[in-house]
Structures are given as C-alpha cells and as structure tokens.
Amino acid sequence: MIKFLFKKKKLSLISDSFKFFLKNKLGIVPKDEALYLEAITHSSFKNIQKSNLDNERLEYLGDAFISLSVAQYLFKLYPKKQEGYLTQLRSKIVSRENLNKIGSQIGLEEFIMYQKGSNQYKSIVGNTFEALYGAVFFDLGYEKAQKSIEEYILKPTLDLDQIIKENRDYKSELLIYHQKKDSKIKFKTLKDNEFKNGIQFISSVICNEKTIGIGKGNSKKIAEQEASKNALI
C-alpha cells in the first residue's frame, strides 16, 4: 500500500486582498504575517475580538522608522540644504495630517480593524500607516523597509513642490535678503476693527520708510508672512 504524504498548507493569518495590497502598494511579501495582522488592529477592536492585540507598539516603532527614513531621503535629495530647512520639511512630511493623507491615498483604511460607528479616531489611518511600517521594518529589516517607503511612498505620493511652498518662511527670507542689501525692514501690524467675521490682522512691510508689501490673516504671524510673501514678489 502506497501512502501519499501531503504537506499541510499553512493557514494564512491575513486575507489575500491584504497580501495583494502589501505587494502592490508597498512592494513587500510578509514573512511573519502575525506582525501585519497586529499592525492593522486598532485598540478599539479589543472590545470585539476580546484579546489584547493592538498596533500601538508597532506604531511607536514605525514612527521612529519613518522619521529616520524621511530624514535619509531628504538628506540625499537636497545635498546643499541646511539642517533647519531639512528638519522643517521632514516635520511636514511626517505630520499626522500628511500620514493620514498618504494612508488614504494608498487605500489602507479598507483593511483597518476597529470598532465602527465612532468619529473619534481622526488619526487612525496615519497611526496604522506608522504601525504597518513598524511591522515591515521588524519583519524584513531596515534596508527592505527603506526601499519600500522610498520607492512606493515617498517618490510617487509626495508633492514636494507643494510641501516646500507651504513650508516657506517668507519673513525670514525677506529679512535675510534686505540684510544683505543693508536695508532697514520693519513690520507694522494692526487689528482690522472693520472685519466682521472674527479677528483679522493687517500687516505692512516697511523698507526704508516705504511700504513694500501688505498682508492679511487671522493671526499676527500669518499676516506678516503674507505681507513678506507679497514684498518678495
């Protein structure tokens, strides 16, 4: 009698659709599937599954990994930029708002396990994105995780031109520019008492007693930035 030995197929911990997502959106094939299941499990899901599994530890790890990866990417991309510029740009990229946006763009929200029917999880997509890369880093190592985030996330999804535009400090640029020309710059900022919808400030940039730019905003800082921007045009 001939016995046929069949090797039992290992049961997968994650769905085929999630595997497809990982392969096509992040370019990775998991080794330890349990890590990826943990990465997409929000703490609120404990009430449903009655276990202690959640993604908060992986979120902590992913936060550190993403910050380092973005720093490395910017360091290579902008070899002549100084520390302050790179730090501000990195902060913008790794902000919760931006990570939420990236997570939504790649369709991560579809796979997050959490207790539905609540609007309190405003940062759930960004937090899960961090946890997911915490899992990739722990499972596959820094080199593969870095390649994934650079090739599949940073290069195709980041609009660096827009981020840089939003990140510009027009007031500092203006002061540096006129300092080199030995010009005297001062700001005159007042509340607009005729503005009906809340508080508005009007700021004027004065160079050698001549107004060269005017800006408005709901804070003194915003008004001065807008005035500086207009003065640089």
pLDDT tens sequence across 26-65? 999 999 999 999 999 998 877 676 677 899 999 999 999 9
Higher pLDDT pick, 29 / 178:
29
Asked if residue 223 is part of any domain, the answer here is: yes
Looking at the fold, whether 177 and 95 belong to one and the same domain comes out as no
DSSP secondary-structure letter at 51?
S
Instruction: Evaluate if pTM is beyond 0.75.
Output: no
Residue 216 Cα distances to 172, 184, 202, 211, angstroms: 18, 22, 5, 14
Show which residues are catalytic: 63, 130
- Confidence band of 106 (pLDDT split at 50, 70, 90): very high
Looking at the fold, whether 121 and 98 belong to one and the same domain comes out as yes
Instruction: Give the residue numbers spanning the domain of 100.
Output: 16-166
